[in-house]
Amino acid sequence: MSRRKLVVLAQIAALVSIALYLFVYVGFRSATGPLTKVQPLDPLDISPDAILPRQNLTAYVLAILDPTTDTDLATFKCPSLDLNRYKYLQQQDYSASSQPPIRYFFALNLRNCLPLLPRLLGSVLEAIRFLGPASCALSIVEGNSPDGTAEVLAALEPQLSKLGIRTYFTLNMVLDPLGEGSDRFTSLASLRNMALAPLRTTTTPADYTDDATTVLFINDVAICPDDILELAHQRRHQAADMACAMDWTGDPPAAAIFYDSYIARAIHGDLFFEIPAGPSWARATDLFWNEPVSRARFARHEPFQVFSCWNGAVVFTARPVVEGQVAFRASRKDRGECHAGEPELFCKDMWLEGYGRIMVVPGVNLEYTVETGERIKAVKGFASSWVAESDAGTKIEWLPAPDQVKCMPTFDNQSWRPWNDTLA
């Protein structure tokens, strides 16, 4: 490499380091306006076998800490938060306490999702800054990603800790749900339980037993801060135990199809849309075809009760997890339980323990890449687009569990089982 090129590269590296130093030393703008003072960023530790060069790593950390940062990384603009709508969610002042109780526990399982990190973690951080960093915890289990996801998380964690956020990062986890000889749902359940483990193992139970403590479990989705806060708001507003988004796949606007059809069950126990033998997706746009209440509330963007859901992001009460009543698991084959995904079984166990107020918030719409996430927002709207509609509707009239729920080990193998099959 020529001497001129070396000089140019050195100048670029110096400028990036100075810019990053000034950014974190001066502070960054919080969701409510004032600047938040943080300590200078420690030099990013780059190992010889690092996947990401220093410049790329710096760009990702900056983009997450401040989504308004001008980088070449893919993202899209989210709406400003409605401060008045969500202000009551903010934690009360605990100035007299050296360690205020956790009221919002964010949990994520991430693998190989580098392009999503600025939008996903930038939104999580903005929501945490709004809610109050001292009352929030962030737990991430990363799955040995080959794309540099772990390197970004390792560089980010010290900065989050400086903001007062309690962080629990497990990086380079080798458990692979798709690995040879691995039972997918058993592995996925283990990874989700790892993300929730700090609720029970790293702090005193008194920090979490209050019903106001909320778990916010978010998949690798293109999400906005108002999505996160709207789910938290609707859970409180509807006095729900659990609130899910709606997630989509396909190529919107031409073919937006509800994604989590394997997990989700309507309140009468059936699928969200009919899947005939084949399987066929010809009826995928006819949601809640045989459940008129959910269909009407969905059309009006009003929350509605379901038997089970996950749908890319979910908010639920921490109490049954903290008290050991509910955890993620695979089907109990020895009892003949229906083969099902771990989120559906989580909901089933929630019902069994008396936490059956499970709902979908149809104003929160998510996708799994930045590009399609932006397009689904253009088609379905941002959460803030439907605030007036959702508030104008009536509260959910909570129902008991259905007598039977559709069992679907595979899309071509469907039958009906008692909702509490093998648990009663």
CATH number, domain with residue 314: 3.90.550.10
Name the more confident of 99 and 137: 137
The helix/strand/coil state of 74 is coil
pLDDT for 182 equals: 75
| Position 112 pLDDT exceeds 90 | yes
Question: What's the one-letter identity of residue 165?
Answer: I
pLDDT for 6 equals: 41
pLDDT for 314 equals: 98
CA distance 236 to 231: 9
Could you give the count of Cα atoms lying within 13 Å of 270 in the half-sphere of its Cβ?
14
Residue 150 — very low, low, confident or very high, per pLDDT cuts 50/70/90?
A: very high
From the list 186, 233, 193, the residue with the least C-alpha distance to 86 is 233
- What pTM was computed for the model? 0.89
Question: What's the one-letter identity of residue 168?
Answer: Y
In a domain, 13, yes or no: no
In a domain, 378, yes or no: yes
CA distance 400 to 383: 28
Question: What's the one-letter identity of residue 134?
Answer: A
- Look up the domain containing 396 and give its range: 23-418
pLDDT digits (tens, 9 = 90+) for 47-94: 667 889 888 999 999 999 998 887 889 999 999 999 999 999 997 655
What is the β-pairing status of strands 214-218 and 358-366? unpaired
Contact 356, 405 (CB under 8 A): no
Question: What's the one-letter identity of residue 302?
Answer: E
Could you give the count of Cα atoms lying within 13 Å of 128 in the half-sphere of its Cβ?
31
In order of 58, 158, 319, 369, the CA distances from 45 in angstroms are: 11, 12, 39, 28
From the list 300, 123, 301, the residue with the least C-alpha distance to 226 is 123
Could you give the count of Cα atoms lying within 13 Å of 422 in the half-sphere of its Cβ?
15
In a domain, 145, yes or no: yes
Count of the separate structural domains present in the chain: 1
Q: Give me 275's structure tokens.
A: 């899947």
What is the rounded radius of gyration, in angstroms, for the C-alpha atoms of the chain?
22
In a domain, 328, yes or no: yes
Name the more confident of 156 and 92: 156
CA distance 153 to 151: 5
| Position 18 pLDDT exceeds 60 | no
| Position 208 pLDDT exceeds 50 | yes
In a domain, 141, yes or no: yes
| Position 16 pLDDT exceeds 50 | no
In a domain, 155, yes or no: yes
pLDDT for 181 equals: 73
In a domain, 1, yes or no: no
In a domain, 71, yes or no: yes
Residue 43 — very low, low, confident or very high, per pLDDT cuts 50/70/90?
A: low
